[in-house]
Amino acid sequence: MDLKGRNFLTLKDFTPEEIQYLIDLAADLKAKKKQGETGESLKGKNIALLFEKPSTRTRCAFTVACVDEGAHPEYLGKDDIQLGHKESVEDTARVLGRMFDGIEFRGFKHETVEKLAQYSGVPVWNGLTDTYHPTQILADCLTMQEHFGYLKGLNFAYLGDGRNNMANSLMIGCGKLGINCKIVAPKSLWPEKELVELCQGYAKAAGSTLEVTDQADAVQGADVLYTDVWCSMGEEEKAAERVGLLKPYQINKAMMEKTGKESTIFMHCLPAVKGNEVTEEVFESPASVVFDEAENRMHTIKAVMVATLGER
């Protein structure tokens, strides 16, 4: 499958077959790395890593993935360049596009990563914006595929803040890949109706369902319980209010038992605030696959770069 030259901004832009291809490519690259094999598909390439928001997994994943495939990663933090401050995003994009072969962006406005893609002339990859987090979804899907052996037909429940970038992206990914998805959240934190309807269309085409509910009992039958922090970056002042609102949606032992399945796994994109969205007991339990997921960020990000920029 040829994805050469494509941007990776949101999974809306990719077909189910293309998404599955990236997951399978990641699995292949992961297996090779475990055998001590790395590649040269990005040899001679220079990659700009733009970070408005700090990061552990995204930064480390892009850096290691670049080095594994022979590329040079250059980290550019918010104090290192003029992005949108002294220089417009459009102008920065055109400068970076002359010097780099690919650009990763992690920051606030989704519009920024869209402008980088429009003006740079090189592949641009979304390492997270306030609206979408597509590389995380690939890692999540690879983790589920490794654990269950398949994706289509799995029952997935996300609990917590239903209108953040993770809920948005999970609805898109699950819908496209035929995973039955429930967003379980208080009504004041439901995702945008327009996006829900779009993702219900994806799900219908893939033979699965998408439901948004405020009833915690909806986790019954779930193969996967997923959560994220209750306050996204930049929302710290809402912390007390969120705790009160979201406490009934905490993933604890009782919530895991509500699924009625002993095989249910717990997932989290990390970092986690233990005692809020998840208890220490569940986080550290054998059901938790959060560190497989964290590792898989690197393998799936590598797959995205290899597919869109690499020589294969």
pLDDT bucket at 30, cuts 50 / 70 / 90: very high
- Mean pLDDT of the region 20-25: 98
Active site residues: 106, 133, 136, 228, 269, 297
Mind listing the pLDDT tens digit for each residue in 211-234?
999 999 999 999 999 999 999 777
Is 129 labelled as part of a ligand binding site? no
pLDDT in tens, 270-302: 999 999 999 999 999 999 999 999 999 999 999
pLDDT value for 232? 79
Outline where 207-310 has alpha helix (H): 239-246, 253-258, 280-283, 290-309
Q: What is the pLDDT of residue 85?
A: 84
pLDDT of residue 239: 85
Q: How confident is the model at residue 238 (pLDDT cuts 50, 70, 90)?
A: confident
Q: Facing residues of 181 across strands?
A: 156, 210
Q: Is 94 annotated as a binding residue?
A: no
What are the E-state strand segments in 26-79?
Answer: 46-51, 72-77
**What's the Cα-to-Cα distance from 261 to each of 220, 234, 258, rounded to whole Å?**
8, 36, 8
Residue 244: pLDDT above 90?
yes
Residue with the bigger pLDDT between 113 and 239: it is 113
Q: Is 269 annotated as a binding residue?
A: yes
Structure tokens given for 71: 């590329």
Structure tokens at 172: 């898109």
H or E element: which one contains 26? helix 16-34
114 falls in which pLDDT band (50, 70, 90)?
Answer: very high
Shortest CA distance to 66 belongs to which of 100, 116, 92?
A: 100
The stretch 2-22 carries a mean pLDDT of 98
Q: Is 6 annotated as a binding residue?
A: no
User: Does 168 appear as a known binding residue?
Assistant: no
Could you give all domains of the chain from N- to C-terminal order, each with its CATH number? 11-133+294-309 (3.40.50.1370), 150-288 (3.40.50.1370)
pTM above threshold 0.85: yes
Surface-to-core class of residue 162, CB atoms within 10 Å of its CB (0-12 exposed, 13-18 middle, 19+ buried)? buried
Evaluate the omega torsion of the peptide bond into residue 73 and state whether it is cis, within 30 degrees of 0: no
208 is in an annotated binding site: no
pLDDT tens track for 141-172: 999 999 999 999 999 999 999 999 999 999 99
54 is annotated as contributing to ligand binding: no
The answer to whether residue 312 scores a pLDDT higher than 80 is no
pLDDT at 166: 98
